[in-house]
Amino acid sequence: MIDTALRRTVVAVALLNLAYFGVEFSVARAIGSVSLFADSVDFLEDASINTLIAVALGWPARRRAALGMVLALILLVPGIATVVTAWQKLQLPIAPDPVLLGATGVGALVVNLACALLLARFRAHAGSLSRAAFLSARNDAFANIAIVAAGAATALVGNAWPDLVVGIGIAILNADAARDVWRAARDERRTAEP
């Protein structure tokens, strides 16, 4: 029964993430924002993770643990993409539009808070898989608060640094979540071994 409810929840979360990826990626490209780019790639990654979780729910613990390790590696992808984008932005550090940056960050925050609330009741179920989904949504909400703050700071200082700093911060947050999911998957695998 709980697997069915969790599967419905992660599918809904995947669809929300996929929809907002399109919005945020478009705005990020239009205004040249590193933090929005990082967060948009993260929305796409979250859609992928939640889709994989929906597929793997019926799997035995050992296979779910292996998938958890793969998901930990997937969590690193937005961080790597962000570092590359930040490096490119350093070559031409033009500030993004602060109003669009902040407004898009608020929209992302609403989506991620909704996802985190949907996933909160399942965060201890299905081991590393549901932990990956919940941590990802929770961390994204923190990142969105930072994006909104970067929009305000960009309006005040008029340069690209607040956006760059937040983009790198999002990369670090994803790396930390990847470490947490890897540890949970490793522990899950140990307990599943005969």
Q: What is the largest CA-CA distance in the chain?
A: 59
User: Residue 127 has what pLDDT?
Assistant: 63
Q: Note the pLDDT tens digit of each residue in 141-183.
A: 888 999 999 999 999 999 999 999 998 888 787 777 778 778 8
Tokens of 62: 């050992």
Number of domains within the chain: 1
Q: How many whole angstroms from its chain centre is CA 175?
A: 11
Radius of gyration of the chain (CA): 17
* CATH code at position 173: 1.20.1510
Q: How many whole angstroms from its chain centre is CA 148?
A: 16
Per-residue pLDDT of the chain (194 residues; tens, 9 = 90+): 567 888 899 999 999 999 999 999 999 999 999 999 988 888 988 888 888 888 887 788 788 778 778 877 877 777 787 888 888 888 888 899 999 999 999 999 999 999 989 988 877 665 666 777 777 788 788 889 999 999 999 999 999 999 999 988 887 877 777 787 788 778 877 877 66
Provide the domain limits for residue 80. Answer: 2-192
Contact 75, 178 (CB under 8 A): yes
Contact 81, 41 (CB under 8 A): yes
How far apart are alpha carbons 12 and 91 in whole angstroms? 39
Tell me the C-alpha to C-alpha distance, in Å, between residue 190 and each of 49, 60, 125, 139.
22, 13, 17, 27
